[in-house]
Structure 1
Amino acid sequence: MKVKTKSKKVNKAWLNDHLTDPYVRMAKKDGFRARAAYKLKEIDESLNLIKPGQLVIDLGAVPGAWSQYVRRKFAPKDAGVGGAAVGELNGAIIALDILEFDPIEGVQFIQGDFREDAVLAQLDAMVGGRPVDVVVSDMAPNLSGIESSDAARIEHLVELAVEFSMAHLKAEGALVCKVFHGSGYSQLVELFKKSFRVVKPIKPKASRDKSSETFLVGIGPKNR
């Protein structure tokens, strides 16, 4: 009984935090599928990464808030009203996730596991040799609670995102990648520093204070 009571208290506290969260309210008002849109918005506005006419890859795209944000950046100013912008689109967005994705007009989607070669081949085919401007990755594994195991899973996804970015980004292209403070974090910072000319860690205001998540931004792959 004690365990159930504690669980109920935790769930009630989370629900209260969620319902009173200003970013949750803003997302509802602005028509975004999740508060995560404001994390990318803050990163983008501080570094000026996403511009009309680009090709952007959205990894770990579900529920679609980041693709929505990019879609609005690519839409004519008078079209970006409520939900995902519709109509004319100046740019291209390819989204990928292991989960099902509720369609967004103008966003191409691949459902599959980014760790699988066949899924990567699908993504490569959809890119079609075009140089990529920005890769954004909100990917995170299912966590087991075992720190060393979870750190290894997170590191593997980040390494794959970096590897993909190094193969596809333009000389001035950028990767935005979710990581977590804790075991393995310093190694991922070093990986970014080895791979990109400019590296910036950013903890957006929309990231919850209790969360260990942060974002690493790499600009300008060194192999270009």
Structure 2
Amino acid sequence: MTTFNHWSETKYIKDIITNPLIEAGEYSYYSGYFINQNFEDGCVRYMWGDAVSRSMFNPIEQMGWHVDKLIIGNYVCIASGVIILMGGNNNHQASSISVYPFPETIADTYQPKGDTQIKSDAWLGMNAMLMPGITIGEGAIVAAGSVVTKDVAPYTIVGGNPAKEIKKRFSDKEIEQLLEIRWFDWQREKVEPVLPIISNGTVQELYDYYLKEVK
């Protein structure tokens, strides 16, 4: 069980995951103090692949299921209370007469939703919920308490239930530049000199640096 001692404490996700179906990049963190829940069995829900579920059954080998993955990029911020719903409970079929997951037919009712992806530099606000199989784009922000039911474009702020676009963080040209720069994929020693620009500069400043020093 992951324990958080104060609201300011965060933990790098790659250091606390054990599930082989979860991938996490560099410097992405989880802040779980106010809920004090385990990342793999609290924040992430209904995901086969942890030690307990692996000891109980193997849906891949036993039932031929394609089990969805959770893929997290670099520098992702996940706040306390966030819920990432995964595909382990995708056995409730609205097209059937009953949505009940009968043990006798459960092997045939599972429908994968696809991998859930949280791209680099995204921020998931407190108590946000992600439905299975969606992609949160680079630099996107999900407002606190939102329920995200579809993909979020890069550098877009969404909020509400269901979450809808509030605004773009930057102009279309700047977003194109940021997706070309992809500073979050640079080696850390290349990021550190431009931290003042990343934290308090303009996209054009960073783009000029990228053209001169990185590209």
TM-score by length of 1: 0.22
Q: Which has the higher contact order (CA 8 A, sep 6+)?
A: 1
* The structure with more helix, counted as a fraction of residues: 1
Q: Which has the larger radius of gyration?
A: 2
* The structure with more strand, counted as a fraction of residues: 1
